[in-house]
Each structure stands twice: as structure tokens, then as C-alpha cells.
Amino acid sequence: MVSAAAARTFDLVIAANRLPVDRHVDPDGTTTWRTSPGGLVTAMESVMHEREAAWVGWAGFPGEAPEAFDDGALRLHPVPLSAEEVTDYYEGFSNDTLWPLYHDVIVPPTFHRSWWHCYRAVNERFADAVAEVAAPGATVWVHDYQLQLVPALLRDQRPDLRIGWFDHIPFPPVELFAQLPWRAPLLRGLIGADFVGFQRPDDARNFIRSCRSVLGATAKGDVVTWQGSDDGHPGSAPRSVRAASVPISIDAAGFRELADRPEVRERAAEIRASLGNPEVVLLGVDRLDYTKGIRHRLRAIEELLADGEIAPPQVTFVQVATPSRERVEAYRTLREQIESTVGRINGDYSHLGDTAVHYLHQSYPREEMAALFQVADIMLVTPLRDGMNLVAKEYVTARHDGGGALVLSEFTGAAEEMRAAYLCNPHDIAGIKETILRAIRDDPAEKQRRMRSLRRRVRTHDVQAWADDFLAALAAAPARPRRRDGP
Ligand code: ADQ
């Protein structure tokens, strides 16, 4: 169902689970929309300027969707979700089936047929909404695991469109993907695209192997060809799709400028003083998610305290854990585990005025995040599995003073590019401990050399480059784009 206001059509259409704005209702009942902070919005702004573009997504609250409206040059098309759909499509199939399955089954995925039916219905609604607003021959960029059926559903209605899909999270090895009862329709959904982009080359390879093994498709290089099917289901026509890695990044210039502001530097000094001016501040910043390895990290910190290798007030650990998906059981359990572990560690190793672990379960403005990064002598980014991890890129960018050190899990997309970090296996507690100590004790010149190299990488591969590379690959697909350094 699309409102009459949707009669305008656009050459570029973005489809993502969420719109790039959040609704705020003031006490007097007036509604305002504020741009949500985040890399995707910035990246899209940079590709959408000078182009008429529309963004199709959920407005973030259940029930009837508002009419389409303009946000600057961007036309926003809210897609409605009922409360039941939020539970079944979003919290259920997206976050309790696909999310754990695509992150190495760190917790067991839940399979419910009713969730799948709902996921399909919501994907159909998104495809219909995009079909309404896309101009003839338009480019459509679909984002992420919540909308994997959209490419084929859209292709069936609108064969004239150029359709791309980008996967922000890992794509699992076929041995895990094959567990999914709906593996075939999901892949058929994706191969409706002309180009599918992934964070790492391994993710693209996993996708190609799944297409071969599950659908019997053939692959030549990074192009998958499927002969189609006569079963009449969505996405039955023969297709060729190219799959390659296009790693996402941050708005490096913007974040550097933010971190350089006098008020941010002053705030950093204030935070350091409030921690008692320790010699070494260790920092973790993550959404409170079981993929982020927070429990393993705390275990390593607890053992370092027990071994007497680190102790407050000289060394202190700050863990920022952003509230996340609190209606999903696995996330509630994780929060309890983490908070009881932090309580135990502080009970055993803190003294009055000297806290071993500072734990903050809150969201902060960008300025505060930049100040925190500047305080961190050692940044701990140790997910068990992560599509990319933008925190690692934000950290090195914020430390343009030349200081700091990054401890980075091998199982992040970021590790593929950020080889100069102190890499570790996040499952290996002894290994994390050793890597943290090495990062603390290494020669300052060696640390600076590593940080310089990391900053250069992020500066030259920023979010603008990511968006440009994706769109160039989409325009040329299934051939490779004519760029030397493109995906
Ligand atoms: P996420 O899993 O959300 O993203 P990440 O890439 O680290 O993970 O991005 C988190 C963002 O939230 C960062 O910009 C960070 O600064 C911000 N943030 C974290 N804690 C915050 C807090 N307390 N207050 C305010 N801001 C906070 C998914 C995938 C990743 C992939 C991204 C982008 O899981 O692997 O890198 O999408 O593709």
C-alpha cells in the first residue's frame, strides 16, 4: 500500500530496514524528524547530492506509516510494520534467525515458519514500495540481511531496474548457511540483483559457494549464473549476478575534524581526570551484542588483574556497551552475564576511589565518543565475529595526535584491511592477555608507526570511496568496473 503522494519517481532509490531519521514527539504533541547519526546516512548523503533520490524504510515505530515526506533533497518513504511484524520479521527472523546464523552460530539460531512467512510478506511490501518510486531504468541499492528477498521480488515486477544489495554483516560458510530451512528462496532472492557486495572477499566466496551448492548454480570467477526454474516462485528467471567485496568505511575527514575540535579535546582531558589520570586507559565500545566478544574480553581483563599484571589506579578499563535489541531473550541474558561479571571484578579488584572496570550501558553523542577515543591508550576491539567494525576505524581516526594502540580481533572485516593493528584471536584468552600487554608495553615509536599506517588506510578508503566503488560495480555488473582499485 503506497500513498498517493508517492507518484514522484527517482533515478536512485535506497532501501534499508530503517529510514535515516528518528521521530521525536514533543510533550505538546508536535512531531519532528532528526537525522539518525551514522555512517550509512553520511555515505548516502555524499552519493545522493545532485541526484533526486528516495529512501524506502521503516520509520521505527509500529502501526500506520506516515505519508512520504522530504528531508532536504531526499524523499523519504516510510514502510509500515505492525507490532506483530516488528516481533516476527525484525526481532524474530532478522535478529534471532539470520543474525546468529550469519555470525558463526555463536548462539543457536531460532527457526520458526511463522517468522519466515512474515519476513517474506514484509520483503514483498518493501519491494512494492520501491517499485512505486523507482523511475524507469533507476538504480536501486538494497541494504542488509533484513531485505534479502527484495532484489528478486523487485526484478519480477521491474526488469528495467539496476539492483544492488550490500551485506553489512558476514555471509556464513555454506556448512552453516545450509542449516537454514529457507536457504534456497533466500539465495534466489539475492540473485535477483545485478551486483551483491560484501565486507570481505571470504563473504563473497561463501555466497558463491552457497549458490553452487544449494541452487546448483555455476560460477565463473566472481559471476554466478543460475539457469532459473519453472516452479513459478518469485525469482524463477535465469540470472547472472556478480559478487565481490566492497568494505565499508567511515567519514574519515568529518570524524577527524570532530575529534580535533577544542571542546572535544577539553572533554577528553576532563574524562581522563575523572578516571584519576591513570597511566593506561583501556577502552571497549560495542553494541551490547554476543558477537562483540565482551564476555571473553572481561575474562582476559579479570585474569590480568588476578595475575597482578594490571591494577587500578595505574590501569583502568572502560567498557561502553550500547543498549541493543533488549526484547530478544539472548540479549537480555547477555546483559545479565556481563553486568554480574563486572560486579564481581569490581568487588574483587577495585578500591575506594580506584575502579578496575568502568561500565557504561548508555548511548552517547558523536562528540563524546570522539573524546572517549582520545582518552583510550589501548582500544580493545575483540568481536568473535563482525562484518566490519566501524569502531576500529573511528578510533584510529580520532587519534590523529599520534598516540594510542589498537587491539583487533582477526574475526572482524576490519582486520582484513587493518593489518598494522595488534591482531588477536578473541577466543584465546591467553592470547588476548598477551596482546593487551604487548600493546601496553611496546616501544612508543613502534606504536606510532602502526597507528600512522592504520590512519592512512582509513583516510584513503573512506565511506565516500566505499559508496563510489559500490555504485561503479553495480553500474558495470556483471562485468568488473573499469577502475584499477575498484572491487
Ligand atoms: P554494528 O554491529 O552496529 O554494525 P559497528 O560497525 O561497530 O557495529 O558500528 C557501531 C557504531 O555505533 C559506531 O559508529 C560506533 O561509534 C557507534 N556506537 C557504539 N556505541 C555507541 C554508544 N554507546 N553511543 C553512541 N554511539 C555508539 C553493523 C555490522 C558491522 C558493520 C556495520 C556497518 O555489525 O560489522 O561495520 O554494520 O556496515
Query: Would you give the DSSP letter of residue 315?
Result: E
Q: Report the C-alpha gap between 30 and 216 in whole angstroms.
A: 54
Residue 276: which residues within 8 A CB-CB, separation 6 or more? 312, 313, 316, 353, 354
CA distances from 410 to 41, 326, 370, 389, 416 (A): 27, 28, 24, 11, 8
Ligand 1 within 6 A of CB of 467: no
Among the listed residues 77, 112, 47, the one whose alpha carbon sits nearest the alpha carbon of residue 475: 47
Judge if the beta carbon of residue 388 lies within 6 A of ligand 1.
Answer: yes
> Using a 6 Å cutoff on CB, does residue 394 contact ligand 1?
yes
Name the residue at shortest CA distance from atom 9 of ligand 1.
Answer: 390
**Binding site membership of 96 for ligand 1 (Cβ less than 6 Å):** no
Ligand 1 pocket check for 417: Cβ under 6 Å: no
Q: Is 361 in the pocket of ligand 1 (CB under 6 A)?
A: no
DSSP 195-225: EEEESSHHHHHHHHHHIIIII--EEETTEEE
> How many whole angstroms from 366 Cα to the centroid of ligand 1?
12
8-state DSSP, 92: I
B/e letters for 311-338, b = 16+ CB within 10 Å, e = fewer, are bbbebbbbbbbeebbeebebbeebbeeb
For the chain, the straight-line distance linking the first and the last C-alpha, in angstroms and rounded, comes to: 37
Regarding the beta carbon of 69 and ligand 1, being less than 6 Å apart is answered no
Q: How many angstroms separate the CA atoms of 125 and 131, rounded?
A: 10
Ligand 1, residue 391: give the atom nearest the CA. 7
Q: How many whole angstroms from 287 Cα to the centroid of ligand 1? A: 7
Distance 314 CA to ligand 1 centre (A): 29
Q: How far is the CA of 232 from the centre of ligand 1 (A)?
A: 40
State in Å: Cα 390 to ligand 1 middle.
Answer: 6
| Cα-to-chain-centroid distance, residue 162 | 24
Distance 55 CA to ligand 1 centre (A): 21
pLDDT of residue 4: 45
- Contact between 321 and 360 under an 8 Å Cβ cutoff? The reply is yes
Residue 482 phi, psi (nearest 5): -85, 65
Q: Is the CB of 397 under 6 A from ligand 1?
A: no
The whole-number pLDDT of residue 49 equals 67
Q: What own/partner pairs with CB < 8 Å and gap ≥ 24 does 342-347 have?
A: 342/298, 344/302, 345/298, 345/301, 345/302, 345/305
* 199 C-alpha to ligand 1 centroid (Å): 14
Q: Let me know if 427 is exposed, middle or buried by CB neighbors in 10 A (0-12, 13-18, 19+).
A: middle
Residue 62 has which C-alpha cell?
509500529
Q: Ligand 1 pocket, 473 CB below 6 A? A: no
What pLDDT is recorded for position 2? 43
Choice from 285, 324, 382, 394 to test ligand 1 binding pocket (greatest atom count within 8 A of CB): 285
In 3D space, the residue among 282, 289, 361 whose CA is nearest the CA of residue 321 turns out to be 361
**Closest C-alpha residue for ligand 1 atom 17:** 391
Looking at residue 144, its pLDDT comes to 96
Radius of gyration of the chain (CA): 23
| Ligand 1 and 33: CB distance under 6 A | no
State residue 3's pLDDT score: 46
> Could you tell me the distance, in angstroms and rounded to a whole number, from the CA of residue 157 to the centre of ligand 1?
34
Task: Give the per-residue pLDDT at 64.
Answer: 95
Cβ of residue 167 lying under 6 Å from some atom of ligand 1 = no
Domains of the chain: 2-245 (3.40.50.2000), 252-460 (3.40.50.2000)
What is the enclosing helix (H) or strand (E) of 239?
A: strand 239-245
Is the CB–ligand 1 distance for residue 168 below 6 Å? yes
The pLDDT tens digits along the chain (487 residues) read: 444 444 799 999 999 999 998 888 888 888 888 887 665 776 677 677 667 899 999 999 999 999 999 988 889 999 999 999 999 999 999 999 999 999 999 999 999 999 999 999 999 999 999 999 999 999 999 999 999 999 999 999 999 999 999 999 999 999 999 999 999 999 999 999 999 999 999 999 999 999 999 999 999 999 999 999 888 787 788 999 999 999 999 999 999 999 999 999 999 999 999 999 999 999 999 999 999 999 999 999 999 999 999 999 999 999 999 988 988 888 999 999 999 999 999 999 999 999 999 999 999 999 999 999 999 999 999 999 999 999 999 999 999 898 999 999 999 999 999 999 999 999 999 999 999 999 999 999 999 999 999 999 999 999 989 999 999 999 999 999 876 555 6
Q: Ligand 1 within 6 A of 387 CB? A: yes
CA angle 462, 466, 469 (to 5 degrees): 135
